[in-house]
Chain A
Amino acid sequence: MRRQEVYDIWNKAREQIDVKEDFTDKVMNQIFLYEQKKSKTFFDYRRFVDLISANLTAQAAFVVVGAVVGLTRVVFMFAVILGY
């Protein structure tokens, strides 16, 4: 089979495939999702922060936890010096 014949057959077959208008978008989306999935870490902290940011109670709870942790840290420093 000559090369021209092969090309003509492929070209004819291609013309019969119905390529929709959003085909490119779909492909790009798939690539993006694939890339995201590939780079997904064990703990996605950005998503976690977004999740907390959506809930005021959760924000308050985290700030309180932060205050407790910070205070504990300061008290620990005092305990290092005042421990006997």
Chain B
Amino acid sequence: MSEVTISPKNTRRPWLAILLSLIIPGLGHLYCGRIVRGLLMAFLFGLLGNMIWASVVFLSPLRAVFFCMFLLTYFALWLVPAVDSYNIARHTKSDYELKDYNRLIVYFLWAVMSSGSSVIGALHFREKFLEAFRVPAASCYPAIVPGDRFLANKLAYKKSDPRRGDLIVFINPEDRRVKYVKRVVAVAGDTVEIKDGELYINDQKLERQKLPDSELDKIRIEIRGALLKGDLYEELNGQVKYNIFMAHPPHLSIPDFSKIAIPEHHCFVLGDNRNNSYDSRNFGPVPLATVIGRVDFLYWPVKDISRFGSLSSE
């Protein structure tokens, strides 16, 4: 009597386990009947993904180091479930007893839920913690070069107000669709005045020290087809130092700005490219309610890769 095999073979295929794990970490384990291990892998993968971004928000001043470290670990951890599920599949007996969850629909649902939660998590993170921006203008040159991309930390001002020297992103008071990035030079209660090209905060002239032109060599930019020429200075504002740029042509000299007091819940912002910036001299002090976050992390520097990382002033 010829034999009819009705029950299907349930061998776990190692290549399929790898394939599933590479697409969604943990899915290969589910296929091999190791649901708990799969869930653990998926959880660790998600956790590390969050740690990459958390390092940018919380781990100042070594955020660049931690960012790179977590990023590398993240990609390594992406491979671990694949290798692990491959080994499990290889050592699974050919008469593997199918579990209730060994169904195509369950794999599909796992993939959809895992991807969906990742997208929702990423959108939430972007909404509440970090937001990326690309700068098209040179108003904050040399700290930010046109084309630079950075992450703004939205948690930075939850418990405190912007401080002098902070680079902030805020909503343009004259057009809410546009966001600006400028440097805070004075905060509520301070007075600001510009006289003969010099900046006075609380009637104290801010000290400037000229820096060698060579510091700009790697980040020279062109404005309307012509190389932007000027001098680089280090400005000392209270305890904070940052670099500013003064373009050369005399017609771009900084106009005087009469003394004003910064009202409560406002700050006064200027572009680092002092005579090429549209800032508080034009639209007045910025309400803190319109501040989106602090510019913390330059993740895509143009021209000079060594600028990658932290953007906080000294």
Which chain A residue has the least Cβ–Cβ distance from B300? A82
Is the CB–CB distance between A28 and B122 below 8 Å?
A: no
**Chain A neighbourhood of B15, CB < 8 A:** 52-53, 59-60, 62-63
Q: Which of the segments B2-10, B33-41, B158-166 contacts the partner chain?
A: B2-10
Complex partner residue of A84 from B2, B8, B75, B134, CB under 8 angstroms: B134
Say whether chain A's binding surface is mostly helix, strand, loop, or mixed. helix
A70 touches B133 (CB 8 A): no
Residues of B near A24 (CB, < 8 A) are: 1
Partner pick for B122 among A32, A46, A49, A81, CB 8 A cutoff: A81
Task: Establish whether residues B13 and A22, one from each chain, have CB atoms under 8 Å apart when the complex forms.
Answer: no
Q: How far is the CB of B249 from chain A (nearest CB, A)?
A: 32
Which residues of chain A from 42 to 73 have any CB-CB distance to chain B below 8 Å in the complex? 45-46, 49, 52-53, 59-60, 62-63, 65-67, 69-71, 73
Interface of B is mostly: helix
CB-based contact B4/A70 at 8 Å: no
User: Hey, which chain A residues are within 8 Å of B241, CB to CB?
Assistant: none
Question: Bound complex: CA of A63 vs CA of B53, how far in Å?
Answer: 29
Give, as a whole number of angstroms, the nearest-CB distance from A22 to chain B. 7
Q: Which residues of A contact B4 (CB under 8 A)?
A: 25, 28-29, 32
B22 touches A67 (CB 8 A): yes
Interface contact B19-A66, CB-CB below 8 Å: yes
Query: A80 near B: Cβ within 8 Å?
Result: yes
A66 to B299, CA, bound (A): 28
Q: How far is the CB of A76 from chain B (nearest CB, A)?
A: 8
Is A13 located at the chain interface by the 8 A CB criterion? no
Q: Is the C-beta of B180 less than 8 angstroms from some C-beta in chain A?
A: no
Contacts of A32 in B (CB 8 A): 4, 6
Q: A62-B15, A80-B126, A84-B132 are in contact. Are A70 and B22 (CB under 8 A)?
A: yes
Other 11 A-B pairs with CB < 8 A, given A22-B2, A32-B4: A45-B104, A49-B16, A66-B18, A73-B118, A76-B119, A77-B49, A81-B122, A81-B125, A81-B130, A82-B132, A82-B151
Return the 5 tightest CB-CB contacts between A and B, nearest first.
A66-B19, A80-B122, A59-B15, A70-B22, A66-B22
